[in-house]
Amino acid sequence: MAAVESALAAAFLFLAIVELMTSLSAKKPSLATLVVALFGALLYSFSSIVWTYSLHAEVFPLNNLFCAALLYLTFKYLRTKRLPYAILGALVCGVALTNQQCVTHSRAPLLSRFD
């Protein structure tokens, strides 16, 4: 389960980077955008701590999944300004807090973007 959660975290991180790069360039995602997003996601998922703890039954892989999902929803909302992404972001915030409270330490400032 931890391995699945870590893999999903990497997937959300990939999507988050695509959203961010699309926002920065104000164009549709290009091959270059997809390659740099893959670079960031793989750099993260094959780092020694994530790689090692993906097989430990702990709260951290799920916490990382929620953090990545929050990043993706933030960038998606910033680009599209559509309310469902903001509501989903608030929902994920609540669920993430029930898993591990230190998500507030790393993601609390993101909430200022859901306006």
By CB under 8 A, is residue 97 in contact with other proteins? Answer: yes
Residues in the chain: 115
Give the integer Cα–Cα distance in Å for 16 and 72. Answer: 4
Site for other proteins in 45-74 (CB under 8 A): 46-55, 58, 60, 63-64, 67-68, 71, 74
Least distance from C-beta 44 to other proteins, angstroms?
4
115 binds other proteins (CB under 8 A): yes
Is-contact 9 68, C-beta < 8 A?
yes
Taking CB atoms within 8 Å and a gap of at least 24, the contacts of 78-82 are 78/23, 78/113, 79/19, 79/22, 79/23
Category of 26 on φ-ψ map: left (φ > 0), alpha (ψ -120 to 50) or beta: left
> x/- contact string, 5-44, with other proteins (CB under 8 A)?
----x---x--xx--xx-xx------xxx-xxxxxxxxxx
**Least Å from the CB of residue 81 to other proteins:** 10
What does the angle CA 102 – CA 104 – CA 108 come to, to the nearest 5 degrees? 155
Query: CB-wise, 28 or 60, nearer to other proteins?
Result: 60
80 binds other proteins (CB under 8 A): no
Contacting positions for other proteins (CB under 8 A): 9, 13, 16-17, 20-21, 23-24, 31-33, 35-44, 46-55, 58, 60, 63-64, 67-68, 71, 74-75, 78, 83, 86-88, 90-98, 101-115
